[in-house]
Amino acid sequence: MQTHEIRRRFLDHFVRAGHTEVPSASLILADPNLLFVNAGMVQFVPFFLGQQTPPWDLATSVQKCVRTGDIENVGITTRHNTFFQMAGNFSFGQYFKRGAIEHAWSLLTDSVEDGGYGFDPERLWATVYYDDDEAAQIWRETGIPDERLQRRGMADNYWSMGIPGPCGPSSEIYYDRGPEFGVDGGPEADEDRYLEIWNLVFMQNERGEGISKDDFEILGPLPRQNIDTGLGIERVAFLLQGVDNVYETDLLRPIIERAEQVTGRTYGVSAEDDVRFRVIADHARTGAMLIADGVNPGNDGRGYVLRRLLRRIVRSARLLGAEQPVMGTFMKDVSELMAPSYPELATDFARIETVAVGEETAFLKTLSTGSTLFENTADAVRAEGGTTIPGSEAFTLHDTYGFPIDLTLEMAAEAGLAVDEDGFRSLMAEQRKRAKDDANARKHAHADLTIYKELLDRGATEFTGFDELTSEANVLALIAEGVRVPVATEGHDVEVILDRSPLYAESGGQIADRGTITASGLRLRVNDVQKIAKQLWVHKATVEQGQITEGDVVLAQADPAWRSGATQGHSGTHMVHAALRQVLGPNAVQAGSLNKPGYLRFDFNWQGQLSEQQRADIEAVSNDAVGADFPVNTFVTDLPKAKQMGAMALFGENYGDEVRVVEIGGRFSMELCGGTHVRHSSQIGPITVLGESSVGSGVRRVEAFVGLDSYRYLAKERALLAGVASSLKVPSEEVPGRVEQLVERLKVAEKELERTKMAAVLSSASSFVDQAERFGSVLLVAVAAPEGVAAGDLRTLATDIKGRFGTDPAVVVLLGTVEGKVPFVVAVNKGAQELGFRAGELVSSFGPSIEGRGGGKPEMAQGAGSQPSGIPQGLAAVRARVAELAG
């Protein structure tokens, strides 16, 4: 049975049983505790906690999930993926343990002809929480005898999210794969033979703080008993498809086969290679799914996880023998395999491919740089007579430069060197501990929205701001410091909930309106407006005059000037987005935005810096559209129809069944958007692009002024230009040419100054040679160079001095002083090398005196210190060392 069929059968089974099919949430949710959605119930947490009323009593979904807690072990076990599909059925106060168990049993054991999975009931086992006699009895009645029923403790059979929130005892269903896969004894004895396929959570309690699976306080019962279950689609697939592990199922094995083609290696021959093949298959799928939901490679958070995954693909492919780029091929395979369940992978493939290939290109450059750094490190180790690369150096290559440890190990072996793996692992463990501690410090209970539940149950706030700036409204509630209050008086901050409001609540990149709430003798200044559950407008305000009481009838007004500027900024953002796509192509897709009165910034997916011409073209296309005075139309339609029309959606955003479309100039710009906009494009005013910059790997940012702010900026720039023109005594239009002439003259003067400086430095070479000291057959020049001689000049000077000694064994040590630093160079000619002198080894003799470090090859080493006062001591130390080596 194919994976897509397994998925469909699950949903159909529960829809027939009265459940509502709920689409998967994005892998990215606004939850500070989660990098990614990691369980099927995450989007339902407010319903379990009783903070919101669910729109359905029974639900079913197949949720996209990503778990990355132990990426290094992917491919080693037979049952773990970073991306997986968690099928679940959910009951909000309806059926409980019996219903959950009976629904699961029927789907698993019903025949294929009857819509089930057709599992042999004799091979199914169940576990229950150690004191859950009720669940145990239901299992006995359902068909599992005592000998296939095991009781386990809190660590195994009591579920929570690891943070304060809903929790409860669970019952897990296992399938016995047979004696060839492990020992007898049920799940307690062997969880490879007895494979967990479904977890039924009897959500009935709320947990408190704690640090482990079985160390937390049970605060008390939830408002009602709920059911949350999770069936692993991939695990069921590898059982029903008769393969040995999840990597050999129909959605992953084809990627392994593609990896065989591009690497020339064969899966199933080498255990080490098999792990690499599985890493490629697993990470390629996870990477594509994350990019599809709006994640871009970066250096922290979600972006860093994606970067690690993509780079592990490249690394694994290279270790398997691939010599050409591979990412585009793997992304194409993933898209074709997964699109039947996730069509966005096909419709958005061009962007997914661009992001993934861009990261591969960047990493290949990193590998090239890392190889050079490794060679320098290896040379320094050999120069000092060592045979082992320090763990700290291997860690720096990995952590700072992204150079994989397994490549370091491989290259070290080829160079005849070892690596201090224990030291490296120790530093990695320290880093992981810091990261884990930091993550734990950021975890906290889900925001308690219970106080808003009654208000949410009454219905959504009516937003009137598309048609008017002033609306009469009723005060539904007042909240101060998290508590409902009947009244708020002058000087106090208060959250005001109205039944209707013209003030825009922050969302979609547009910041909230500012405005007022007034009545006779009453005035509140509205400082911010936020949404609760995308339905309830919360006005954060300060009472400036009088007192406000729950039940009052008030007048809510958005600041007209603020709203006008905000609409200019938001509509301007749409214009810049459309212009970017015209100039750069369809892969320049929105990755985020912010707009406020007079200003916008727009983040988009793109590899590499934009040229000056591209920036100019984007500004020109935007302003041409402004000048065209395009009409701005908005309408509401269903999501499929909007997409069919070509409306752009923000990746990672969850949209409802009905969406609002903003259309500017027909097909010039068409986006899904809930923000406020101008009525004609000319009302945006001029758009002035301020600049373009990087905000992470594969993401660029354009910033611009609009309207009067654009005029003010241009006026300021004109005044600056006029001032420069006056200083240069040329007309404004001749300023660029005049500045270019001055810059060229400055470059010529700097080069001449450099030549003069170098000549002065080299003129001192003869006097240094005359100061050479003899130690046995070796001549030593160990001197302090004139102050201000930079490292590059020291190297030139040392090379010149060394050359003047001909074939006589000679060592040159020059220490300089530049702005409190001590650059140094050590040069050893061939004659001295034959006597055993090594430049890198000599650094260790004087380095401590100047608090310096350095390295290099036997004939040349350089570096810098930070203690100029130690120069005399350092020179004395190197003389002593040369004397010792010379005998």
Model pLDDT for residues 371-401, shown as the tens digit of each residue: 788 888 888 887 777 788 888 888 877 766 6
pLDDT at 520: 94
Structure tokens at 582: 């015209």
Taking a C-beta distance cutoff of 8 angstroms, is the pair 814, 786 a contact?
A: no
Q: Can you tell me which residue has the tokens 């009525």?
A: 679
pTM for the full predicted model: 0.66
Residue 568 in contact with residue 591, Cβ under 8 Å? no
Structure tokens at 593: 């935005």
Write out the two tokens for 112.
Answer: 């294929």
CA distance 507 to 530: 8
pLDDT tens-place string over residues 834-878: 898 998 889 989 989 998 887 778 888 888 898 999 999 999 999
| Residues 480, 536 contacting (CB under 8 angstroms) | no
Neighbours of 876 (CB within 10 A): 14
Predicted pLDDT of residue 441? 47
CB-based contacts of 475, cutoff 8 Å, min separation 6? 496, 497, 498, 548, 549, 550, 551, 552, 553, 554
Q: Please give the Cα distance from 723 to 713 (Å, whole number).
A: 16
Residues 6+ apart with CB under 8 A from 367: 314, 318, 403, 407
pLDDT of residue 77: 76
Per DSSP, the three-state class of 855 is strand
d(Cα 446, Cα 43) in Å, to the nearest integer?
12
Q: Provide the pLDDT for residue 571.
A: 95
Which tokens in the block code for residue 306? 């994606």
pLDDT value of residue 299 = 66
Closest C-alpha to 822, from 796, 847, 841: 847
Report residue 496: phi and psi, to 5°. -110, 125
| Count of CB atoms situated within 10 Å of the CB of 695 | 15
* Known binding-site residue numbers for Zn(2+): 570, 574, 673, 677
Annotated binding site: 570, 574, 673, 677
Average pLDDT of the chain, as a whole number? 88
Is-contact 517 552, C-beta < 8 A? no
* 104 within 8 A of 328, measured Cβ to Cβ: no
pLDDT at 666: 84
* Maximal CA-CA distance, the chain: 103
Please name the residues in contact with 826: beta carbons below 8 A apart, sequence gap of 6 or more: 798, 811, 812, 813, 839, 840, 842, 843, 856, 860, 861, 862
> Kind and range of the H or E element at 141?
helix 133-142
Q: Give the residues of the chain that fall short of pLDDT 50.
A: 439, 441-446
Angle at the Cα of 289 (from 438 to 444), degrees rounded to 5? 25
**Which residue spans within 776-857 are E strands per DSSP?**
778-784, 810-815, 822-828, 853-857
Residue 437: what pLDDT? 58
Give phi and psi for 809, each to the nearest 5: -55, 130
